[in-house]
Structure 1
Amino acid sequence: MSINHCSHTLGVALLLLSALFLSNDAIAQDSTRYQIQTRDGNTYYGHIVQKEIEYILFQTDNIGQITIKFDDINVIRRMGKEVSTERYRESNASYRAPEVYLFRSSGFGVKKGEAYYRNAWLILNELNIGVTDHFSLGLGMMPFVEGSLPVWITPKLTLPLLKDKVNFGIGSLNGVALGESQSSFGLVYGDLSVGGPSTHISLGAGKAYDEGELNPELLITFSGAVKISKNITLISENYTLQDFYLYSLICHQNFSAVNIQYGLLMFDTDFGNLTLPWIGLVVPIKTRF
């Protein structure tokens, strides 16, 4: 991989991720004013900047931005009208960014009690299950490709270095192409995610392998997610490996029971450049694990 080509790849990936964060900065601020009373007797006035499952980021009128957990809130009032804290918490469940990107889970992983079925292009199928809050397992397959049936398993361990701010993940994809000439393939990787579950950026590295032999070239990944509205998240997942480069810019839209993904994949290889549409769906599933 040449230095110039690597620099170009890094520039494109960072440009895509920067676009995500700039779009979030432009519209994230909620102009509606709120009054929040907490259990310790404090009252705050201002705007909601970011909404998560367990907390909100609140821009106060006089002391700047603060993080307030829902468990610490007595009352939320909007324009003089009281809003039930529990109902408000439930209504914001969809603000959580998806735990899956395109080909792998995000830096925050899939939590215990959750699972996701994914399908892309009607041929790529995968089920991701949260075994614990820090360990998930994926099972995937594709229809027959040139007489073989690719199947794979994707375990992943996530470690919160700083809760909801910095996460480290390590995982692998371990596959086999079943058929007359059976072959194995896979990937081992690690990544570091900075930000919260809804808005973050990830940098990772790994090694691909084929028939048990590691590829000498290093796989580098740049990924990120930005929540831009209640039901829409922008996702970018990008890879570089030797002379192969993959960039993406995807919209993940929540339709309650089914989430739709659509956008573009851009390939840069020795054989030329190729842009393909991405269309897929993600179905959240509650489990009893």
Structure 2
Amino acid sequence: MSINHCSHTLGVALLLLSALFLSNDAIAQDSTRYQIQTRDGNTYYGHIVQKEIEYILFQTDNIGQITIKFDDINVIRRIGKDVATERYRESNASYHAPEVYLFRSSGFGVKKGEAYYRNAWLILNELNIGFTDHFSLGLGMMPFVEGSLPVWITPKLTLPLLKDKVNFGIGSLNGVALGESQSSFGLVYGDLSVGGPSTHISLGAGKAYEEGELNPELLITFSGAVKISKNLTLISENYTLQDFYLYSLICHQNFSAVNIQYGLLIFDTDFGNLTLPWIGLVVPIKTRF
């Protein structure tokens, strides 16, 4: 791998990640009085000083100004007006897009009691379930592959080094291609994510294997996510492996029950460049685990 090619790769990656973070979050102060009930059972009265994408600054009547994350709010209602209660924790509000980028996950994991099903290009299928706040397991398959049926499992362990600031994840993809001539394949990896669940950057490394033998080349990933609005997150997942490079820029949009992903993949290889559209969906699921 040449120095110029490495510089080109890092330059493109930094450009993509920089583009993700160019967003303006500030919203004007609201003088309307509100009652806020949080998930831990506390109730606050006062007015909103400032709204950001992930939290609000709230001026309370008795304890001064506090910061409350939207994910921690159960109910917020205006005081003195006959309006419907606004619930911020909708069916998919606790799902953070960056738990999974496109092919790989970040340093964050699926929480206990949560799961998601995702599909891409109609052929890639995966179900991930959080058994604890730090351990999850995924099951995947890719039908319609001529002559074989690839299936895999993806155990993952996540460790919060600094809560909502630095997370480390370690896991593996362990698969087998079922068919006339079965073959095994997989990947062992680690990811470090800096930032919160909705907006962060990630650096990862891994080793692929086939038939039990590790590939001598190291797979490097550099990815990121930024929440643009309540329902829209931009994500980028990028790879470098020897003379193979993959760049991506994807929109992840939340709807009431389904999350849609759409964007572009750019492959850079010795054989030339190739750009493909990416289309997928993610369905959050509540579990009893």
Q: Is TM-score (shorter-chain normalized) higher than 0.5?
A: yes
1:239 aligns with 239
Unaligned runs of 5+ in 2: none
Shift of 1:212: 1.1
User: What is the rounded CA distance, in whole Å, between the counterparts of 1:219 and 1:95 in structure 2?
Assistant: 28
Of stretches 207-216 and 47-56 in structure 1, the one that deviates more from structure 2 is 47-56
Shift of 1:247: 0.7
C-alpha distance 242-197 of structure 1, shift in aligned 2 (>3 A):
same
SS of structure 1 residue aligned to 2:157 = strand
Q: Deviations over 1:16-67 (max 9, x none)?
A: 1111011355889999998989999999999979989996467999999964
Shift of 1:165: 0.9
Unaligned runs of 5+ in 1: none
User: What is the rounded CA distance, in whole Å, between the counterparts of 1:71 and 1:247 in structure 2?
Assistant: 31
TM-score normalized by the length of structure 1: 0.82
Q: Deviations over 1:110-136 (max 9, x none)?
A: 111111111111111111111111111
C-alpha distance 174-47 of structure 1, shift in aligned 2 (>3 A):
farther
C-alpha distance 214-86 of structure 1, shift in aligned 2 (>3 A):
same
Residues 25 and 53, structure 2, Cα contact 8 Å, conserved in 1: no
Residues 264 and 277, structure 2, Cα contact 8 Å, conserved in 1: yes
Shift of 1:3: 2.1
Of stretches 270-279 and 172-181 in structure 1, the one that deviates more from structure 2 is 172-181
C-alpha distance 167-79 of structure 1, shift in aligned 2 (>3 A):
same
User: What is the rounded CA distance, in whole Å, between the counterparts of 1:151 and 1:231 in structure 2?
Assistant: 32
2:172 aligns with 172
Shift of 1:146: 3.4
Shift of 1:151: 0.8
Q: Is 1:216 matched up with 2:216?
A: yes
Q: Deviations over 1:162-184 (max 9, x none)?
A: 11111000011111111111111
Shift of 1:221: 0.5
User: What is the rounded CA distance, in whole Å, between the counterparts of 2:142 and 2:39 in structure 1?
Assistant: 52
Residues 38 and 74, structure 1, Cα contact 8 Å, conserved in 2: yes
Shift of 1:4: 1.8
Percent identity over the alignment is 97
TM-score normalized by the length of structure 2: 0.82
C-alpha distance 192-144 of structure 1, shift in aligned 2 (>3 A):
same
Shift of 1:223: 1.1
User: What is the rounded CA distance, in whole Å, between the counterparts of 2:9 and 2:212 in structure 1?
Assistant: 28
1:287 aligns with 287
Which has the larger helix fraction?
Answer: 1
RMSD: 4.4
Of stretches 52-61 and 255-264 in structure 1, the one that deviates more from structure 2 is 52-61
Residues 53 and 96, structure 1, Cα contact 8 Å, conserved in 2: no
